[in-house]
Copies of this chain bind each other. A is one copy, B any other.
Amino acid sequence: FSLNLAADCNAVLKALQPIFQEQGMTETVHNWEDHGYLVTYIKKNGSFANLRIHPHGLVLVDLQSYNDDMKGREEVDQLLNKVEERMKELIHVNIKRVKRLPAILRGGVIDRYWPTADGRLVEYDIDEVVYDEDSPFQNIKILHSKQFGNILILSGDVNLAESDLAYTQAIMGSGKEDYTGKEVLILGGGDGGILYEIVKLKPKMVTMQTSNIDQMVIDGCKKHMRKTCGDVLDNLKGDCYQVLIEDCIPVLKRYAKEGRMFDYVINDLTAVPISTSPEEDSTWEFLRLILDLSMKVLKQDGKYFTQ
């Protein structure tokens, strides 16, 4: 509860106390001089509630319980309804906002919380752990979501879902490029999405470089992300494509030396590279090196796509 005015902490406490006491909860009150109240209510079954009353007008109620049964959820709803009712009686029009957040489930078999790269909390409708392996470089998970299909998660970072065709289309130039008869180099792209989509467009030859860091990513994707990669990862060679399991720097250096040129270079390497050699000490230097080498293998009217 956000209030429009300073809270009469004592009045709020007095108003809400009976609701928790009716539940047979044991009360422990802590009263700061300047910071209001923390009241802890403990139930015999192991559940508890925290009531935090801030004097400047913020009242927070947290409930924590072990079981996730529907009966428990109904009881929680009823309790919170009573708290809301009592608060509205007490504070009337001066409640600025009432917000009830969904329960956070911890300790379950399936972890549904995968924060975004910018640190926001997102709960997915995960219903199955499809693949969960540790490589020497990273943890590789593929989780099934009803909404997004299988989702590839590398060391906790959501990478790509089977529903993310839009990502692949965007990094290929949003449908505006003609790949027919073209020479294409893909850097990274271990999920096989870009390779699969370009091969459909009758290119002359697509070369996909993917580091051995990604071997287990490929293994997982070719089994469980087939909406993304189709069958292109089943073999490392096809009519118009090849997959090189090799780091991108030596591949680019070799092609530059040989004078091998491409119509398109698509850089789908992870945003922050996993460094294997300590001499590549700075991320920016590594990114600059890749960009410089890419320009060397790009035809004069060639195009370079990246995130």
Contacts and interface: CB of A to CB of B under 8 A. Distances in A.
23 contacts: A28-B28, A30-B40, A30-B42, A30-B48, A32-B44, A34-B46, A36-B46, A38-B40, A38-B42, A38-B48, A46-B54, A48-B52, A52-B64, A58-B106, A58-B107, A60-B64, A60-B107, A62-B64, A101-B115, A102-B121, A118-B125, A121-B122, A121-B123
A45 interface: yes
A99 interface: yes
B102 A119 contact: yes
A66 interface: yes
Interface string A101-139: 110101100011101001111111100000000000000
A60, A112, A119, A121: which has the most chain B beta carbons within 10 Å? A121
Given A30-B42, A101-B104, A125 B120 contact: yes
Contact of A121 (B64, B104, B119): B104
A211 interface: no
Interface residues of A, number: 42
Contacts of A64: 50, 52, 60, 62
Interface in A5-41: 28, 30, 32, 34-36, 38, 40
A123 B125 contact: no
B42 A66 contact: no
A48 B46 CA distance: 20
A46 to B, nearest CB: 3
B113 A124 contact: no
Contacts of A45: 35
B113 A99 contact: yes
The 10 closest A-B pairs by CB, nearest first: A35-B46, A120-B123, A58-B107, A121-B123, A102-B121, A2-B107, A102-B119, A102-B115, A122-B122, A30-B42
Nearest to A47: B35
Given A30-B42, A40-B28, A106-B60, A99 B111 contact: yes
A200 interface: no
A43 to B, nearest CB: 9
Contacts of A58: 106-107
A71 interface: no
Nearest to A115: B102
A102 B123 contact: no
A30 B72 CA distance: 22
A35 B121 contact: no
Interface in A44-102: 44-46, 48, 50, 52, 54, 58, 60, 62, 64, 66, 97, 99, 101-102
